[in-house]
Amino acid sequence: MIYRSFLLLISASTVIVDAFTVPRHSPSRVTLTALAYSTRSDRDDIERNRARFERLIDTHDDTFIREGFIAEAERNQLFLTTSGRRMREVEMQLLQSLEDSDDAIDQLVHLWTTERDEDAASDMLFMDVSCSRGLEIEEARLWQLIEEHPGWAEPHARLAAVLFHKGGPMHGSIAADMAVRAIDLKPWHFEALHLMVAISANFHDMEGSMHWSSLALPPLDPETKNRDRKEWVKRSLMQAKGRFQEAERITSSIKQGTSKRTVTLTKTSDDSWQ
């Protein structure tokens, strides 16, 4: 699997990959350092969307408008379907299993890769076994998927990896932006976290690298009975449960706003989990 092999390579976060280098005081490095501490402030698109949905729902009664709110909530991973609830529960179970084993890592990545409609999942899976010259086709498709599914973390993480692989300061800055967005959506996205460690190191940003290292998935350590890994799992489960509860609250608010009318949801909601 080409993409997975590349991510495994950069996940060795203590190794500085020579994809690109940037002068210590360059504007790109300043931008990267700022990204490392922005996930809870102005970059929190989820919170802004949540507030926007609530304001709109409180002020409009038209069914057509409300259906638009539901569609937008789905796009931003804020509207839960029945299958969506179940798949989030599965995700949390897999996260829990990481306390003492790495067996669930591939299962989680597969889950993240296939959490949207069939066509999008097929395209993502195809990237695991084949790649175009210069990764041009993959980059174009990933940009398209991000536009179609702004609440889906995996295309952001993969685009970050593709751009990081291409190298250069401009690609590096955009790669950092995409990786941080993936982390905004899934703070427990261990591949995006490891990627940010590597990106920071290549920008000679040791402070940023240490910051992301502190958030990354620790290795198993029998000598400490996996103490650090268990702390990471505990934090990640709290974050995942918090996002789950927030999505439940938004879903409940939207459904109450429909006044029990039947609403036709998009095909995505039937075939994937939101």
Give the pLDDT confidence of 117-164 residue by residue, as tens digits.
788 888 888 887 777 787 788 899 999 999 888 888 999 999 999 999
Distance from C-alpha of 85 to C-alpha of 83, rounded to nearest angstrom: 5
Higher-scoring residue by pLDDT: 95, 55: 95
Higher-scoring residue by pLDDT: 185, 268: 185
The pLDDT tens digits of the residues spanning 162-209 come to 999 988 888 999 999 999 999 999 999 999 999 999 999 999 999 999
Kindly indicate the confidence band of residue 218, based on its pLDDT and cuts at 50, 70 and 90. very high
pLDDT value at 74 more than 70: no
Kindly indicate the confidence band of residue 12, based on its pLDDT and cuts at 50, 70 and 90. very low
pLDDT value at 60 more than 80: no
For residue 35, give the nearest of 234, 220, 214, 174 by alpha carbon: 174
pTM: 0.69
**Residues in the chain, total:** 274
- The answer to whether 77 and 251 have CB atoms below 8 angstroms apart is no
Range with top average pLDDT, 23-27, 200-204, 245-249:
200-204
Instruction: Return the minimum-mean-pLDDT range out of 61-65, 165-169, 207-211, 214-218.
Output: 61-65
Inter-CA distances, 209 with 29, 64, 191, 214, Å: 12, 47, 14, 9
Higher-scoring residue by pLDDT: 190, 13: 190
- The answer to whether 40 and 185 have CB atoms below 8 angstroms apart is no
Distance from C-alpha of 19 to C-alpha of 169, rounded to nearest angstrom: 10
pLDDT of residue 151: 86
Higher-scoring residue by pLDDT: 257, 106: 106
Supply the DSSP symbol for 219: P
Higher-scoring residue by pLDDT: 86, 82: 86
Inter-CA distances, 173 with 55, 99, 161, 272, Å: 34, 33, 12, 31
Inter-CA distances, 91 with 9, 44, 156, Å: 24, 22, 19
b/e code 240-273 from CB counts within 10 Å (16+ = b)? beebbeebeebbebbbebbeeeeeeebebbebbb
Residue with tokens 């102005």: 42
User: Cβ contacts of residue 161 below 8 Å, gap of 6+?
Assistant: 3, 6, 7, 10, 175, 191, 195
Higher-scoring residue by pLDDT: 174, 29: 174
Distance from C-alpha of 241 to C-alpha of 233, rounded to nearest angstrom: 12
Distance from C-alpha of 203 to C-alpha of 210, rounded to nearest angstrom: 13
pLDDT of residue 25: 34
User: Cβ contacts of residue 31 below 8 Å, gap of 6+?
Assistant: 173, 176
pLDDT of residue 153: 92
pLDDT value at 68 more than 60: no
pLDDT of residue 33: 37
pLDDT of residue 4: 52
Average pLDDT over residues 84-100: 93
